Amino acid sequence: MNGTVRIGILGGGGILGAHAAGFQPLADGCRVVAVAEPDAARHARIRELLGPDVELAGDYPEVLDRDDVDAVDILLPHDLHLPATVAAAAAGKPVLVEKVMARNIYECDRMIEACQAAGVSLTVCHDRRYNGDWIALKEIVDSGVLGEILHWRLLHTQNVAPVASGRGKHWIADYDRLGGGAIMSCLTHQIDALRWYEGPVAAVTCMHKTVPERMEGESVGAVLAQMESGAMAELSISWITRSNTAASGLWYELNHVTGTRGEAYYSAGKGTFLLTYDAPAVDLPVGFESQASPVGMAFRQVVSDGVPGHVGCIREWVNHLRGRPADIRTSGLEARGTVEVAEAAYRSVETGRTVPLPIDPIPWRSS
Ligand SMILES: NC(=O)c1ccc[n+]([C@@H]2O[C@H](COP(=O)([O-])OP(=O)(O)OC[C@H]3O[C@@H](n4cnc5c(N)ncnc54)[C@H](O)[C@@H]3O)[C@@H](O)[C@H]2O)c1
């Protein structure tokens, strides 16, 4: 595409703020011309975020029908990611779709097929892969300074209690609209990062807990993953804790990796830190070597450029649309692999067994 790329956004809810911040610095090369958002109560905020000239529409096909829209950014509830992507492809418009790509790999495959058939690109906004501090952790791991990677812990904590409105049940509380619960919706951030950091997942075991007064899908989940590399990983999500927002509280997201020669972690709001075991040797009391870090060993911060993930992702997507060099890390095919791990975790809950990957695609239960 030459000149200014004209973007249509489908869905103008909560995550629009992060996307608007991504498009705003790119005003020389792209312009958001229209947003589809049926909830009129959200229109004033959309204009605040994108300017008074942005055209507002209701249902998303209205934006796909516009000739002045070159590409679309899909910020819809998860059950609409498949139909909106298929319709965008049929309209000849390249797609950026928010995570999670779709509710299962069967839907991912339909999205990939539709975009391939139409000759348009499909990119998934897994923003963490473009976030400066998450990239810093990737660079530490890839440098080899940690030695052989043995263990990952990736944790996500929030308080998510969806409230029904005059329009009925919140889509996040609806199993069929969300595609399950917290694991598919948000632990997929951690699953995606684990695959990016450590490579393919070989098998998963999962347990989860549903709190029916909150939502139909699970609010708490824990996944154990055996990696093809030989490392093991623990991933967990809690949507029932306020620990990350309370004073002196705990993390929102924490990625911790341990290798044979050191450890590193990312903690949201704090940054990325590295500890190597090659610190100055000190004399320890006999028998305590395995229990304490030698005096003088300390995590040190690895400072990143601090670019927020959505800003980095949208910058690369717009570069790609403009035919410029672009570092797209999250194609539809790549993001499908993340949905597959989450779907395998659900099959582990259903069967009570460890589920090896790959798994077979099956249609969504209500389709
Ligand atoms: N990357 C992140 O950290 C992050 C954080 C939050 C949400 N998300 C993702 O963003 C996406 C949207 O989530 P959200 O939190 O903004 O949800 P939201 O409910 O705030 O927004 C969704 C919007 O879509 C609109 N919509 C529904 N049906 C529509 C239709 N037919 N046509 C046009 N618009 C329609 C709704 O009215 C609503 O305003 C999801 O994929 C979610 O997982 C990502």
pLDDT in tens, 231-280: 999 999 999 999 999 988 888 999 999 999 999 999 999 999 999 987 54
The pLDDT of residue 285 is above 90: no
Nearest CA to ligand 1 atom 38: 13
CA 98 – ligand 1 centroid, Å: 8
Task: Give me the pLDDT at residue 235, please.
Answer: 98
Q: What is the pLDDT of residue 151?
A: 98
Would you place residue 294 in the very low, low, confident or very high pLDDT band (cuts 50, 70, 90)?
low
Mutate-to-test residue for ligand 1 from 37, 183, 338, highest number of ligand atoms within 8 A of CB: 37
Q: What pLDDT is attached to residue 128?
A: 98
Q: Can you give the pLDDT at residue 282?
A: 47
The residue-averaged pLDDT of 110-124 equals: 98
Residue 160 clears pLDDT 70, i.e. is over it: yes
Ligand 1 pocket test: pick from 39, 63, 75, 169 the residue with the most ligand atoms within 8 Å of its Cβ: 75
Using the predicted structure, report yes or no on whether residue 287 has a pLDDT greater than 80: no
- How far away, in angstroms, is 55 Cα from ligand 1 center? 18
pLDDT-derived band at 199, boundaries 50, 70, 90:
very high
Please tell me the predicted confidence (pLDDT) of residue 274.
94
Q: How far is the CA of 86 from the centre of ligand 1 (A)?
A: 18
Separation of CA 302 and ligand 1 centre (Å):
33
Least confident of 75-79, 119-123, 253-257, 281-285: 281-285
pLDDT of the residue at 367: 54
By percentage, how much of the chain surpasses pLDDT 90? 88
Grade residue 11 by pLDDT with cuts at 50, 70 and 90: very high
Predicted confidence band at 293 (pLDDT cuts at 50, 70, 90)?
Answer: low
Residues with CB under 6 A from ligand 1: 10-15, 36-39, 42, 59-60, 75-78, 80, 98-100, 127, 185
- CA dihedral 204→208→214→215, nearest 10 degrees, is 50
Q: Above 60 in pLDDT, residue 290? A: no
**Nearest CA to 330 among 342, 314, 341, 308?**
314
Q: Which amino acid is at 11?
A: G
pLDDT recorded at residue 281:
46
Give me the sign of the Cα torsion angle 119, 126, 74, 67: negative
**For range 325-342, the mean pLDDT:** 98
Mean pLDDT of the region 138-142: 96
Among candidate residues 79, 116, 125, the one with its CA nearest the CA of residue 98: 125
Summary mean pLDDT of the chain: 94
Distance CA 56, CA 77 (A): 18
DSSP state string for 101-160: --SSHHHHHHHHHHHHHHT--EEEE-GGGG-HHHHHHHHHHHHTTT-SEEEEEEEEE-B-
Please give the pLDDT value at position 366.
74
| Nearest Cα residue to atom 5 of ligand 1 | 15
End-to-end CA distance of the chain: 36
Residue 297 has pLDDT above 80, yes or no: no
Q: Which of 123-132, 288-297, 320-329, 349-358 has the lowest mean pLDDT?
A: 288-297
pLDDT at 19: 98
Q: Kindly report the number of other CB atoms within 10 A of residue 119's CB atom.
A: 9
**8 Å CB contact between 115 and 89:** yes
Mutate to test the pocket of ligand 1, among 43, 98, 131, 314 (most ligand atoms within 8 A of CB): 98
The structural domains of the chain, ordered by start, are: 5-76+122-128+310-330 (3.40.50.720), 131-306+343-348 (3.30.360.10)
Q: How many CB atoms lie within 10 A of CB 281?
A: 8
pLDDT at 288 (0 to 100): 46
Please report the pLDDT score of residue 2 as a whole number. Answer: 62
Q: How far is the CA of 207 from the centre of ligand 1 (A)?
A: 27
Note whether 277 and 264 are within 8 A (CB): no
Return the residue whose CA atom lies nearest to atom 15 of ligand 1. 14
Distance 74 CA to ligand 1 centre (A): 8
- Dump strand ranges (E) for 323-367: 355-356
Least confidently predicted of 164-178, 203-217, 267-281? 267-281
